[in-house]
Structure 1
Amino acid sequence: MATPTDEMKSTLNYRRYDEGDGQWDDFSELIFVQDTSHKCPTYIHKTPPCQGSCPSGEDIRGYLAIARGQEKPPEGVAWEEYAFQRSTDANPFPSMMGRVCPAPCQDGCNRNDVEDFVGINSVEQYIGDTALANGYKFEAEADTGKKVAIVGGGPAGMAAAYQLRRMGHAATVFEKDPHLGGMMRYGIPNYRIPRDKLAAEMQRIVDMGVEVCTGVRVGQDVPVADLEKEYDAILWALGCQNGRGLPIDGWEGTSNCISGVAFLKAFNEGRMKVTGKKIICIGGGDTSIDVISVTRRLGYNAAAGNPEDVVADFSINHDQALADAAEPAEATLTSLFTKDKMFAAEHEIHDALHEGCVILDGVMPLEVILGEDGRATGLKVCDCTMDGMKPIPTEGTERVLEVDLIVSAIGQGGDMEGLEDMANDRNLIDADKFYQVPSKPGHFVAGDIIRPHLLTTAIGQASVAVESIDHYMKSEEQAKRPKVDVHHFDLMNKLHEAGLDPEQFDSHDGDLRGTASANFAVHNFEDRSAQEVVGSSDLFLGHFSFTPRVLRGEDVPSADDVLGHFNERLILLSEEQVQAEAKRCMSCGMCFECDNCVIFCPQDAVFRVRKDESTTGRYVNTDYNKCIGCHICSDVCPTGYIQMGLGE
């Protein structure tokens, strides 16, 4: 969990060793002869916890190193473009993710054990927006002749199309809605995701040669059998755009009881420009926050009629005149959990309160109160405590809240109409560990239709699914997925990029008893990134000084100014601010060229590699004729890159 801002400490007291740790445990170790030790430095590449916590597996450490100037781009490539290339190896939507991803990477950041996490989202937003401003493009590989049908044009479907084109496979996207984007377009308000930037990130993928068929529903407009005949594989990336109703009396069949998904879609399609006077949303996640925040921005106009009509009837489009004459609306969120345990991001809760929303936490719904016309007029609630995920009502706290519209934001489900043969008993689609649909060869699945989760989760699943599709179309056996399944930094690729490829190995040339003087091997380096995530206990945290996080500005309106306020919320950092924030990255699991090991080695055994032979991951080396195995270099390595090995 990230360190709360008000608990951050400006005085650091890190110590690697406690009192007494400097004493030998027994007499034999006390008389240890150092110069007979077989232990010498080995340079170990591990996955940083930011990347290990990222469901799409972005090389976050890599693009932060590029932003701060430590990892150099190839000649003629700007650092912004190089960082864009590194970022989008895993995720083609840096502009979107930098804005709306809840950032599990920041919760996992080892810098939380120093003072506060690195603002990864803010750097990613800069990378994404700069890429759009400079017109950076994606490149597709030469066509392989293989074709894949992708059902769904949301984050999972479009990420899959992107990865397929990078492999040279043709991709056709079938999307039931008029526009691409899925929940990024229809489920998140425009002040959080600017529509021009969303469209541009989608178009950049289409420009790779992706065919798009919008307004087409597979299973109704196009039979599944036709896709099976025409394409080599099918990826199901339907998403979950059906909201769940409340399991309480009075909900079912009541016209002004709707889902949060339907509410936000009506708004995001531009049809709903005003809403009810008193809105209650039941939830606690980001969707519920979006519902009440949108309500405060839209306001209320009695001339618009019942607020649910525009949600239910797709032919209704509110006139702008209704919005121009709107009055402030009351927006209330009820959550089973207290604010500190709600699933919504902390800053989203804070912003909603600042905008004049009311949050009743520790409250559970009991019953929808109906009027004579059959519409809901109130919601009966009571206080509650939580036993795990089960609410326990508090007797004597029952009351009725007046309401014009009740919105349920307690989860989402799949719309499998016409695809019943694909659905499981939860109305989702089953997947194996390779994201293949069991018992359906050639069918693969990714995203919320497996289990609703984060946008970045859907994108990560799409990447794995595409690898599985590639193996399937090549009739290759599926390899076991690595323990740490992410888009890792590859030292061999970096050496190739820098013109430092190892020489061709010749078994008939020279002494093969060792490789210390040979150039056909990468010496004293081990890549454990597919197996290990480096924790803060492996770092020398004492190297890092207290450095406050560079915060993005936010345009969050007050309760008095929120009506009609649809300006983008997050303010982009400047290049200087981005580079300053990137310098806070501790480069966990990878050398960041601090020279500690060179400076503190008492034998001068650790040395810098010659500049014309140096690149990221190959900055220092060891003279093993001088090394006595004292392990000082390992102790003072801030990033946990050095471990004592090569013997015993």
Structure 2
Amino acid sequence: MATSQDDMNTKLTFRLYKDGETNEDWASWSDKIFKEDTSHKCPTYVHRTPPCQGSCPSGEDIRGWLDIARGIEKPPEDMDWQEYAFRRLTNANPFPSVMGRVCPAPCQDGCNRNEVEDYVGINSVEHFIGDTGLSNKYKFEVGEDNGKKVAIVGGGPAGLAAAFQLRRKGYGATVFDNHATLGGMMKYGIPGYRTPRDVLDGEIDRITEMGVDVKLNTWVGKDVTVEQLEKDYDAILWAVGTWTGRKLPIPGADNAQNVLTGVDFLEAFNDGRLQLVSEKVVVVGGGDTSIDVASVARRLGHISEINEKDRPENIVLGHTAHDVASSATRQGAQVMLLSRSPVKDMAAAEHEVNDALREGVDIVDRVNPMEVILDDKGRAKALRVQKLEDDGKTPVEGSEYDIELDLLVSAIGQGGKLEGFEELGNERGFIDADQHYQVPGKPGHFVAGDIVRPHLLTTAIGQASIAVDSIDHYLKAENLGKRPKVDKHHFNLLNKLREAGLEPNDYTHESEWGTAAAEWAVHNYEDRSAHEIIPADELFLGHFHYTPRLKRHEDVPSSDDVLGHFQERVKGLSEEQAREEADRCMSCGMCFECDNCVIYCPQDAVYRVPKNQHTMGRYVATDYSRCIGCHICADVCPTGYIDMAMGE
């Protein structure tokens, strides 16, 4: 059947050359295709890191668990694919359900499939795997106790991820947190309609059930001294987060009680104290925190006749508590979010911005706050702003105007609360870290998470993993060495061979050199995953057909329905959908068993390894006595797994 004109125009996949371009790379065919046996180059199978994993701050083996979900990499006989994918994913990240929902997914921005039609929905498959792990009640394994203990200060994503990694290595772990419950910014900084509390608590409980000791409502530096921790524990990890919001650095901001920070606002909402806002709310920011504040304000609404004690600023500052019954008379709040940057350049995730707009948040971009205007009672009544040029930096002369408000929330950045351990902090209110996440000049002290530099939840999780590696080396008195260039949780072929009962024999040098026929080495395989990320131009993108991304359904309320709407917005994929979406992964840098190299080899030099020797990454090999170095196998390899390098 002929392809329709519409499909030809809208469903193109990959084109190596645009109209009018010449094929300069192949101007001389003889330079590219070697004849007979004159070439000294033969194929080598090279494992590289895909850009999705290279873009993931927690370093997940994304390609690995996608290949498991799609059925290419097989689990051990005693395990189903769902658990095997869960185990592979949680090697790096113990919060797949949470991160599958709220991570802004830099992995998807880096996905090579963007060069074909659209990225793989990595978050949606992670969401499915995480929820399956909770429903099937998968537990984490604990390493053999080694007698060493580590104190973790802070029970947020970094602290809990560190506790998870430490227990896997056999270390005792005690988490100290100054809140009534664990979770940190995952619980107190992100609304429940984005991170459902049963999901978050389930993933936290799975970590504490590993034998993690927990000390809640405990402020290290006040309730227990740093010196005491140094005496009682073999190492200390600081994962205290950033709980101080930055105030607006403009006149009037410090003097008005109804000027709050986004951190304080969200913490009061998430612990149940804040249930109403004012009629006119202005939020200054542009990042995810500002979006959350604005969206929460739209859901809470206001009451027309409000008592002084019920004003939101009194609730947030801890002076009183809301009467739940008063919420019955609430009305929608007018919420405006101000950003210096154009909307398209805001730091917040694009879909979060779009959801906020749908929910009725008025986003005004390219404005700069100048002054908080106070009334005769010292309350903020307006914010004076100045318009900016399209660059978000250059002021427009004479463009100042006032925005009326009842509540002003600053969400422009965060810093740490270091009372009791100020000596660890720097001049910016953070804690310095070296490449191993050690605190410089403080042996035995390590640090991870936002207190190093505020960033994503997944960044905090990744830093915790590296910090635990460093703690492990430190407590074993081992040289820390240099971190890998591509510092991730990589697929390990040797471990896979062991899992399949195919571990190579011990090396015994006899008379012959080379590894082609030996059973003590992996034939013509090279692992460059710790050093190289494979770009799209090393793939054969023409192999991949147009396949639309399967999108999760999102229950985003309209501006008319948002009041009181606290149900979860993102709905997960079914098992069938998750596997179908995973199948769109191009397995960049790792064989996905397409048979192209076998089919197109003119000499039958490339062959499938026997089934009883086959495992992931060992699907094909080369008979060098037949190979003529023609390059065809490398040219038709969709994943870039084959290099013509043998002999160089």
Taking structure 2 as the reference length, the TM-score comes to 0.96
3-state SS, counterpart of residue 389 of structure 2:
strand
Unaligned runs of 5+ in 2: 1-8
Match of 1:572 in 2: 572
3-state SS, counterpart of residue 44 of structure 1:
strand
Aligned match of 1:178 in 177, 180, 194? 180
Task: Measure how far apart 1:25 and its partner are.
Answer: 8.1
Q: Which amino acid aligns with 1:558?
A: S
Q: Is the 8 A contact 1:161 1:171 kept in 2?
A: yes
Q: Is the 8 A contact 1:596 1:637 kept in 2?
A: yes
Q: Is the 8 A contact 1:149 1:235 kept in 2?
A: yes
| Residues 375 and 32 (structure 1), Cα distance of their counterparts in 2 relative to 1, 3 Å cut | closer
Whether 1:621 aligns to 2:621 is yes
Match of 2:23 in 1: 19
Aligned match of 2:321 in 314, 317, 321? 317
In 2, Cα distance between equivalents of 1:417 and 1:386: 41
In 1, Cα distance between equivalents of 2:491 and 2:25: 35
Task: Measure how far apart 1:76 and its partner are.
Answer: 2.2
| Residues 13 and 438 (structure 1), Cα distance of their counterparts in 2 relative to 1, 3 Å cut | closer
Q: Deviations over 1:195-243 (max 9, x none)?
A: 1110110010000000000000000000000000010000000000110
Match of 1:264 in 2: 266
Task: Measure how far apart 1:321 and its partner are.
Answer: 1.1
Q: Is the 8 A contact 1:284 1:343 kept in 2?
A: yes
In 2, Cα distance between equivalents of 1:514 and 1:61: 31
In 2, Cα distance between equivalents of 1:635 and 1:31: 10
Aligned match of 1:363 in 353, 357, 367? 367
In 1, Cα distance between equivalents of 2:242 and 2:26: 57
Match of 1:44 in 2: 46
Q: Deviations over 1:414-468 (max 9, x none)?
A: 0011111111111111111111111111000001111111111111010000011
Match of 2:313 in 1: 308
In 1, Cα distance between equivalents of 2:267 and 2:24: 62
Match of 1:350 in 2: 354
Match of 1:438 in 2: 440
Q: Deviations over 1:562-584 (max 9, x none)?
A: 00000001001001110110011
Task: Measure how far apart 1:391 and its partner are.
Answer: 2.5
In 2, Cα distance between equivalents of 1:234 and 1:606: 53
Whether 1:539 aligns to 2:566 is no
Task: Measure how far apart 1:323 and its partner are.
Answer: 1.8
In 1, Cα distance between equivalents of 2:634 and 2:34: 19
Whether 1:155 aligns to 2:166 is no
Match of 1:286 in 2: 288
In 2, Cα distance between equivalents of 1:246 and 1:30: 61
In 1, Cα distance between equivalents of 2:103 and 2:389: 29
In 2, Cα distance between equivalents of 1:243 and 1:320: 27
In 1, Cα distance between equivalents of 2:141 and 2:29: 59
Task: Measure how far apart 1:316 and its partner are.
Answer: 2.6
In 1, Cα distance between equivalents of 2:253 and 2:183: 30
Q: Deviations over 1:479-535 (max 9, x none)?
A: 21110000000000000001100012223xx43312221101101000000000000
Aligned match of 2:67 in 65, 68, 75? 65
Whether 1:633 aligns to 2:636 is no
Identity of aligned residues (%): 62
Q: Which amino acid aligns with 2:322?
A: H
Task: Measure how far apart 1:31 and its partner are.
Answer: 11
Match of 1:338 in 2: 342
Q: Is the 8 A contact 1:270 1:317 kept in 2?
A: no
Q: Is the 8 A contact 2:590 2:639 kept in 1?
A: yes
In 1, Cα distance between equivalents of 2:235 and 2:280: 49
3-state SS, counterpart of residue 388 of structure 2:
strand
Match of 2:110 in 1: 108
Q: Is the 8 A contact 2:336 2:364 kept in 1?
A: yes
In 2, Cα distance between equivalents of 1:21 and 1:537: 13
3-state SS, counterpart of residue 282 of structure 1:
strand
Task: Measure how far apart 1:9 and its partner are.
Answer: 4.5
Aligned length, in residue pairs: 634
Aligned match of 2:488 in 486, 491, 494? 486
Hey, which bits of structure 1, 4+ residues long, moved more than 4 A? 29-33
Q: Which amino acid aligns with 1:398?
A: E
| Residues 377 and 383 (structure 1), Cα distance of their counterparts in 2 relative to 1, 3 Å cut | same
In 2, Cα distance between equivalents of 1:561 and 1:32: 67
In 1, Cα distance between equivalents of 2:207 and 2:107: 25
Taking structure 1 as the reference length, the TM-score comes to 0.96
3-state SS, counterpart of residue 607 of structure 2:
strand
Task: Measure how far apart 1:11 and its partner are.
Answer: 1.6
Q: Is the 8 A contact 1:280 1:407 kept in 2?
A: yes
